[in-house]
Amino acid sequence: MLAIVCPGQGSQTPGFLAEWLEVEGVADHLAALSQITERDLTAHGTVSDEETIKDTAVAQPLIVAAGLVTARALFGNNLPEGVILAGHSVGEITASALAGALDEADAMNFVKVRANAMAEAAAATPTGMAAVLGGDPDEVLTALESHGLTPANANGGGQIVAAGTLEQLAALGENPPAKARVIPLKVAGAFHTAHMQPAVGTLSELAATISPKDPATTLLSNFDGQPVTNGNANLDSLVAQVSRPVRWDLCMKSLAEAGVSGVLELAPAGTLVGLARRGLKGVKTLAVKSPADLEAAQAFIAEHTSN
């Protein structure tokens, strides 16, 4: 069984879409998505510098667009049957579009509004996020609580992402939990915490104008790792997601329980297959980073969707 996973913010790197523009149809597709988001995603995926694409208002639409254009280059308009879809944080919007729960235009408009609202919320107080790698999980959570930080992402594989003010994160870095490393992330806010609550109201208003559909294939939720079968429930969850923790560990648990044999990550790929290698022992992985990976990806899909 195959899982297709879509990465979240912080996975982008300067120029990561440059080679994709050589693939037939990608340039036009990316241009169309740029119009919806009112962002030059072509420029941001090819020539914009690291600081520019770190900006939440740029990063989120860019990451969702990247997943959609690379998925179309790989699958066309026909997703392989019987796959499981999951996305991490903003990648859950990508997964929802691929599952048919949101049409592409709604997904891109949603991520545009989400990105703007979260950037505005982040600007109110200097906040950020840092990955805590290793250490005893209970001790890590106790340390976060002692610094007033939120465990915003439970990623599995020995990784918890802390979120809060820059002062709180600096204090954690100066006094990390035993046997743990603290690595600042390339994001511009404390996402999936109470700091993002103002964005929830904005997205709730937008959601009232969207007509979602029930997912056409299995789509896992960041909330509890379980399949979401109702389009309205999925949209409500996407709204609430911005201010509550991402439980990627529970998504990986569901993939394991479903008997997934292969995990394929769409661009900008690398982060989620890294977590899968640590948290899903024995499951094969493939990161679709560039067009050079398409042939191997086709073979990987055939291997893990065959009966």
What's the burial of 256, exposed, middle or buried (CB within 10 Å: 0-12/13-18/19+)? middle
Other CB atoms within a 10 A radius of the CB of residue 304 amount to: 21
Give the span between the Cα atoms of 189 and 171, in whole angstroms.
17
Does the annotation count 195 as an active-site position? no
DSSP-derived 3-state class of residue 284: strand
Tokens read off for 85: 């879809």
Tokens read off for 71: 């998925």
What's the burial of 4, exposed, middle or buried (CB within 10 Å: 0-12/13-18/19+)? buried
The position carrying tokens 């990561």 is 16
Q: Of 11, 34, 48, 89, which is the active-site residue?
A: 89
Give the span between the Cα atoms of 151 and 130, in whole angstroms.
10
Strand segments (E) across 47-125: 84-87
Does the annotation count 304 as an active-site position? no
Q: Of 88, 192, 195, 304, which is the active-site residue?
A: 192
Give the span between the Cα atoms of 214 and 258, in whole angstroms.
20
Length of the chain counted residue by residue: 307
Active site residues: 89, 192
